[in-house]
Amino acid sequence: MCQAGPSALRLVFSFGLSALAVVLTLAILTLLFGRLFCSFMCPLGSFLSFVALFSKKGRKKIFPITGGLILGLFVGAMVFGLALVFRLLDPYSLFGRAITAPLWFGIVFFVVILVVTLLFGRLFCTSFCPVGLLLSLLAKRSAFGISIPDACVHCGKCENVCPTGCIDQKKNEVKREYCVMCLDCLTVCPRTGPTFSFLWKSSEKEKAPDLERRKFLVSLSVGAGVGLAGGGVF
């Protein structure tokens, strides 16, 4: 009842007050604290948080084009009442199928997700999960989150331990839309590194154009077009 994916589907296909309450609550939480849901409320996300502790160190890659295409496909198909893309990749549904489906499916799923997470961190959460991609639209403007102060010594420890690759120390930047609030970066810094702070400030530094954001929006438009076309044909 409290999961984002099933609640969103219930809200779209069979409007209910309980589903509306869950969706609004999660939206407010995301606007306040970013993608808190991904590490502390999502069953698959909680599992991946643990696995990511043992993942390969180093900055992880983010694929905004893949994420935009998947989210666009989902939105476009939903216009025609098709939830196939969402159901296939919804983390709650995936985790549930892995546990309740035939043994071979569960074994294959866990092996694949383990290998992917160990090699690439939480790639699923940043580039494939429809729930995470939807939450990222709100998390971009969250009130609280991880930030890097100007006094950072750029030792690289937080960047190496971040499971999503959202920290860029050279730019003193944390990409909030990809941060899943695992808080691992706060535990490794020896000095004045990442902090959990209030981010809605009256004056912010002027930033360079976000090329990743542009790629995401372009791929989102393409995905939505494909989803609309596919839904119409179906």
Q: What is the pLDDT of residue 191?
A: 73
Nearest to 190, CA basis, from 220, 154, 214, 225:
154
Looking at residue 223, its pLDDT comes to: 64
- Return the pLDDT at 206: 47
Neighbours of 222 (CB within 10 A): 16
Q: Could you write out the DSSP letters of every residue in 27-76?
A: HHHHHHHSSHHHHHT-HHHHHHHHHHTTSPPSPPP--HHHHHHHHHHHHH
- What does the DSSP 8-state code read for residue 184? T
Structure confidence at residue 229 (pLDDT): 67
Query: How far, in Å, CA of 120 to CA of 118, rounded?
Result: 6
Q: What is the pTM of this model?
A: 0.83
- Provide the pLDDT for residue 208: 54
For residue 194, what pLDDT is reported? Answer: 87
Tens of each residue's pLDDT in the chain, 234 residues: 778 888 888 888 888 888 999 999 999 999 999 999 999 999 999 999 999 989 988 889 888 888 888 888 887 877 777 777 788 889 998 888 888 878 888 888 889 999 999 999 999 999 999 899 999 999 999 999 999 888 888 888 899 999 999 998 888 889 999 999 999 998 888 777 788 989 887 445 545 556 566 666 666 666 667 666 666 666
Identify the residue whose tokens are 């892995």: 98
